[in-house]
Amino acid sequence: MTAAPYPLIMGICLLLGFATGMILHRSDYCIAGMFRDLFLFKRVVMLRTLLLLIVSSMVLFELARLLGMLPLYPFPLLYSPTPANLIGGFLFGIGMVLAGGCVVGTLYKMGAGSILSTAAFAGLILGSALYAEIHPFWASFIKRTTFFSGSITLPQILKLPPVILIVPAAAVGLFLLLKWKKSGGLLRQSSAEGYLQPWKAALLLSLLGLSSYVLIGMPLGITSSYAKLSGYLGSIVFPDHVAGLAYYQAIPLKYVHPLTNTYLEGGGGPRFDVLSAVQFPLVAGIILGSLSSALSLKEFRIYYKVPAGQYISAFTGGIIMGLASRMAPTCNVWHLMGGLPILAASSMLFLTGLLPGAWLGSRLLMGLVLKNPVAEKGRCKV
């Protein structure tokens, strides 16, 4: 395996991450907050923009496929459906609400100075490490319960060309979005300087997702980086134990990079591979992009004065997310911005589990952590 494409891949991903971090901070595009606000405050504006992100990605991905720009379709690291997607989605929904941000939201808030999100970040690493301990059992469960084996997307299951299902699905979504746009239902009120309307952020993020798919071979995703960090840290303290864990030895990603036509491999273990080259620069870019945005708007500040209960919630939520992102497998960004636009069955199951999980997480947050929750407008702090 040649390392020749790694500098190119890392440079592309750093730029994609930086742009993503800028957009997320400017628009406060917090997916965890979208679901939390739905269940706590009955707010739906941000969820409507999430639908816009999914539909626009759906259209862009299908156009790119029809134009021959996506040699990897479906993209790597998507699998046939299994109840594990549902269970992982449910747990992830709980975790992201308790943590106050998903795996990506945690990063852009860290970049803006949130120490609370740093607690969630630490929890994500620990949760990923915990999954490595149960991986043999969970991998066996997935193997036993996988259905429609060999088929990943709904079009594959129904043996139909993707466009046959993509067009009507996108048409329904566009109809709803146009209806909401006419009534002002896609606008979010904010007095924050430099605020980027979330519907604009959704369109920009869909373009970044397409760019990642075309240039890297897969949409945006970062959860393997948390697993790798857990492996690196674990190797320092328990080197023999980590070396003996099957999860860290597995190589699930094996693909040909579309730009360089180079065969590459990667896994969650503590070693440098294509997942390292893709995801670590993405993580760094998101943090730096958010930091740059916060500094340019003179909004950066170290934010740490919150009740101890919120730190416990963020850390616990991070642990649950880290565990769930490996069980699902992968996270909300991967499934909502990548899998759903190509009608991946596993992503549909993930979303089905995510909704009740976010509801339960919201109940727990309100009952145990936030006694008097306040609906936020503008940049989110929780």
User: Sign of the CA dihedral 55, 74, 332, 197?
Assistant: negative
Instruction: Supply φ then ψ for residue 253, to 5 degrees.
Output: -100, 115
> Is cis: bond before 74, omega within 30 of 0?
yes
Per-residue pLDDT at 54 exceeds 80: yes
* Cα gap 234→129, rounded to integer Å: 8
* Mean pLDDT in residue range 43-62: 98
Where are the chain's structural domains? Answer: 6-368
pLDDT for residue 33 is more than 80: yes
pLDDT for residue 1: 44
pLDDT band at 187 (very low <50, low <70, confident <90, very high): very high
> What amino acid occupies position 111?
G
Residue 311 has pLDDT above 50, yes or no: yes
Residues ≥6 apart with Cβ < 8 Å to 54:
173, 336, 337, 340, 341
- Nearest CA to 155 out of 339, 337, 332, 350 is that of 339
CA distance from start to end of the chain: 44
Contact (Cβ atoms closer than 8 angstroms) between residue 321 and residue 99: yes
Helices (H) and strands (E) in the chain, counts: 16, 2
What DSSP assignment string belongs to 216-259?
HSS----HHHHHHHHHHHHHHH-HHHHHT-HHHH---EEEEETT
In contact, 178 and 33? CB cutoff 8 Å: no
Taking only the tens place, the pLDDT of each residue in 319-352 is: 999 999 999 999 999 999 999 999 999 999 999 9
Q: What is the pLDDT of residue 79?
A: 97
Of the candidates 378, 364, 278, the residue with the CA atom closest to the CA atom of residue 28 = 378
pLDDT classification of 2: cutoffs 50, 70, 90: low
Count CB neighbours of 251 within 10 A: 13
Per-residue confidence (pLDDT) for residue 378, from 0 to 100: 52
What pLDDT band is residue 28 in, cutting at 50, 70 and 90? very high
Contact 95, 361 (CB under 8 A): yes
84-104 pLDDT per residue, tens: 999 999 999 999 999 999 999
* pLDDT of res. 190: 85
